[in-house]
Structure 1
Amino acid sequence: MLRIYLDQNKWVDLARAATGHQLGRQFTDALTLARAGVAAGAVSFPLDIYRYWETSKRRDDRSRDDVVDTMLELSKQHTMALPFPLLDREIDLALQRLFGRPEHPRQVQEFGIGMRQIGEGRLDWPELDLSALPGGGASLPPGLSSQLSELVDQSVEEALLRAGPDTYRARGFAHSDSDHAQRFVEFEKMVAAAIAANGLTGNAIDVAVRATDFGDIRPAVSDALGRIGMTYEEFMDGITVGGLMSFIDDLPTRYVTNVMRSAKHRQTQQKWEPNDFADVVALPVPAVYCDVVVTEKQWVHRLRQGKVDRRYNTILLDNVADVVDVLVTASAT
């Protein structure tokens, strides 16, 4: 199955095509072929947690529902795992290549169905209650209860995707209360200041960025080391700086993260913005595990500069209309 990841603006483009908006005319062919591919079971457009998040921030109910309608139709509620469970497996595999253990790296299902796949059992999910029926539903024909349960799941999934900022605010959460993006910007500003103060250029910037990233993932690395009977101090004592850089690069999603961050730090005229947070945390997983990623031109350029497309055999596009060629080629093979 061909897996195609769309960032938020690309979903908006297809939603405009689906609703006949004049700005969506150039994407009509892409939508038509996408629908055909999904109907044939040959193509999947998985959503990640950040699509739920970005969609829920959209205030206008009608425009949000237009996007959700397109997401539901093309994704079929296919979803991708969160970054950190995937990172745990990537660390285990990197340690196995380095030390020959763990014998059994942790397993993660990259793709699945719905928010429960994303939440990995951490969500309090409503179950179908048949207690009001005679015999607690025992009289239902075989298979009907499972069909009803599936319908309940689908309804809950759709409600989660359609929920807007007013719904979240009514449940005690406001998007404006989240400061992750701003904290991300402040952190990258500190990194940029350190790079400038030390006059770092070229590969030295890459080393500095990866060093700061290793600080971010240190708890996950320490946990993985504990699983193979090694302390963090033993690991650091036995590895060179070059070896540590190679270890970080051997973690696929962190490699992509640091390609993006390094490229941005080289372009000092472009300041870090809160919107960068969503891209830097969202794009690494699909860039590694999907076949096609359609995102902003700046990130396509930077990911290609970092040879991410070659390293992970990923097609990178900045225009969802170009999906037509990909889908035509896929259908011919």
Structure 2
Amino acid sequence: MPPVVFLDQRDWVDLAKERKGTLEPHKSDLEDVLEFVISTADTGDVVYPIDLTRFRETAYHSRPEHRDSFFDFLFDVSNGYTIAPYDIVRKEEITWRLDRVRGNAGYMTGRVVNQGLPHLFGGQNYQIVPTDGEKDPSDIPDRILQEIYDSIESRDVFDLAKDPDHGLIDMLADQEGWEAMAQELNETRHAHEEKYNDNENRRRREKIRSFMSDTIPEYFIRGFESGLSIQELGVFLGDYWSGAPDVDDAETFLQSFPAEYSFTELVYQRDIQGSDWESNDIADIESLSVAIPYCDVVTADNQFADLAHRSNLDEIYHADIITDLHELPGVVSERL
């Protein structure tokens, strides 16, 4: 796949305004950046996927006329490429890890970045699987299958997202999930404020314990169900049952679940700052948790870029994280 570039919502908006000639006078001219983005998108030299957060923030914040034109801009630049949502990627990482333990080769990239609106919501675009009594896909003529695939990736399907009659706008604009998670994180932080003010090593152990209470049990269960032993699942996991794994071994192992590890790290670093969580913080961290390990170049605001750098996520997953959109052409060109 060509280099994959994740654009922050602010940068998408500024580029769209530059194209319309409505970019605020106090902002630096982005004509050269816009030309680079559009030209590399048109030639397919660079992929600029959109994620569910871009759609949700657009649905939530924009007036209808602005929303429709912005959706059009998203599709024009992305060419229908989308990023699977965080909760789906998290589960795919467990599946991918178990596949590798069994000796099966494979890559996560195609599971994370792909074409089509269904993929944006975590759907499997390219797996037409028959149920009882249905025709086997191998019996369907290639021409018909291609028409199905083309329709999944088509602009008509994307246009459903901005049509209020289909109800997607209302669903996308729903912020309840993010708000609930922000409230939960605030309650946890306040309840353990004294503990969080302890030393760095204590924080690190708390972070790992949080990760292990969620992802690792699911990894164990699915691994055992498929017949894998504890030794096959991971060397350090023998200490898991005692609740006291070696912190360095545990952290190295957890990095093999890139989106989940990135999410845990970013939440951890954000908690250190001590300010309360907002729903948009959750949205940004979920997006970056997928973008940083699975995209080559990521644009982010100063706060979240700093959190990622503090966690060394850019070094661990070999991503360029930038805060100035003017740097984009030069940074991306180095990867072409």
TM-score interval, smaller chain: 0.7 to 0.9
SS at match of 2:214: helix
Normalising by structure 1, report the TM-score.
Answer: 0.78
| 2:254 match | 248
Structure 1 CA distance for aligned equivalents of residues 21 and 69 of structure 2: 11
Greater shift, 223-232 or 9-18, is seen at: 223-232
| 2:264 match | 258
Which residue among 178, 182, 195 is the counterpart of 1:181? 178
SS at match of 2:103: coil
Greater shift, 23-32 or 79-88, is seen at: 79-88
Normalising by structure 2, report the TM-score.
Answer: 0.78
| 2:312 match | 307
Which sections of structure 2, spanning at least 5 residues, go unmatched? Answer: 129-140
Structure 2 CA distance for aligned equivalents of residues 93 and 77 of structure 1: 25
SS at match of 2:44: coil
- Equivalent residues in 2 for 1:99-110, closer than 5 Å: 101-104=101-104, 108=108, 109=110, 110=112
Contact 1:213 1:258 in 2 (8 A): yes
Which sections of structure 1, spanning at least 5 residues, go unmatched? Answer: 126-137
What letter matches 1:158 in structure 2?
A: F
1:192 aligns with 2:189: yes
Contact 2:160 2:168 in 1 (8 A): no
Which residue among 73, 76, 82 is the counterpart of 1:73? 76
What letter matches 1:8 in structure 2?
A: Q
Q: What is the Cα-based RMSD across aligned positions, in Å? A: 3.5
Structure 2 CA distance for aligned equivalents of residues 306 and 51 of structure 1: 24
Distance 1:29 1:169, change over 3 A: closer
Which residue among 91, 94, 97 is the counterpart of 1:91? 94
| 2:297 match | 292
SS at match of 1:44: coil
Structure 1 CA distance for aligned equivalents of residues 268 and 20 of structure 2: 39
Share of identical aligned residues, percent?
A: 19
1:34 aligns with 2:33: no
SS at match of 2:298: strand
Q: Structure 1 runs of 4+ off > 4 angstroms?
A: 92-97, 105-108, 142-149, 230-235
Q: Deviations over 1:211-258 (max 9, x none)?
A: 223323355324433234458997732772524444323322122112
Distance 1:249 1:59, change over 3 A: same
| 1:159 match | 159
| 2:209 match | 211
Structure 2 CA distance for aligned equivalents of residues 43 and 302 of structure 1: 26
Q: Number of matched residues? A: 308
| 1:6 match | 7
Structure 1 CA distance for aligned equivalents of residues 23 and 284 of structure 2: 27
Give the Å deviation of 1:44.
0.8
Give the Å deviation of 1:156.
3.7
What letter matches 2:35 in structure 1?
A: T
